[in-house]
Amino acid sequence: MRSKVHVAFEIGVILKGLNGFVELVSGTLLLIFPSNPLVARHLSYHDERFAAIYLLSHGIIKGVLVYGLLKEQLWAFPWAIAIFTGFGVYQIVHYIKQPSIWMIVLTVLDVFVILLTWFEWQRVKRGRARAPA
């Protein structure tokens, strides 16, 4: 039987994966359709390119990590914790510069996913230590 922490971990990681997919699609669209009038009103060409690369890189990184986490690949757990923490630090810095309730909500959710990832990592390691060789 799966624990509530494990189910919460899976939900959190799947949500991270969906977020990564949206970032990947958004970044791709910004590269395929440059200078879209809806975007061009708010971003310079340089900022648009930066946003596209930023979104693409986040989407790819999250996709790889989510895949590794859901497949219980041990390498993915410390990398996910480190990278999600880095994203969280960036979000806090962004919040300090431009306060937004959504940035706080996103950061709090990320902290929960980081904690759940830690607990899941410990569960997977214990399970593998008990498994016969």
Query: pLDDT tens digits, residue range 18-52?
Result: 999 999 999 999 888 877 777 767 778 788 888 89
Write down the pLDDT at residue 113. 95
Write down the pLDDT at residue 40. 65
Please choose, from the candidates 31, 16, 127, 113, the residue with its C-alpha nearest in 3D space to the C-alpha of residue 63: 16
Domain range summary for the chain, segments of one domain joined by +: 4-130
Query: pLDDT tens digits, residue range 72-100?
Result: 999 999 999 999 999 999 989 988 998 98
Write down the pLDDT at residue 43. 76
* DSSP label of 100: -
Whether pLDDT at 131 is above 80 = no
Q: Sign (positive/negative) of CA torsion 37, 41, 46, 49?
A: negative
Phi, psi of 54 (to 5 degrees): -60, -50
Stronger pLDDT, 127 or 67, i.e. the higher one: 67
Write down the pLDDT at residue 133. 62
Which residue type sits at 90?
Y
Write down the pLDDT at residue 117. 97
Whether pLDDT at 132 is above 90 = no
Average pLDDT along the chain? 91
Provide the H-helix boundaries in the chain: 4-32, 37-40, 45-70, 76-97, 101-130
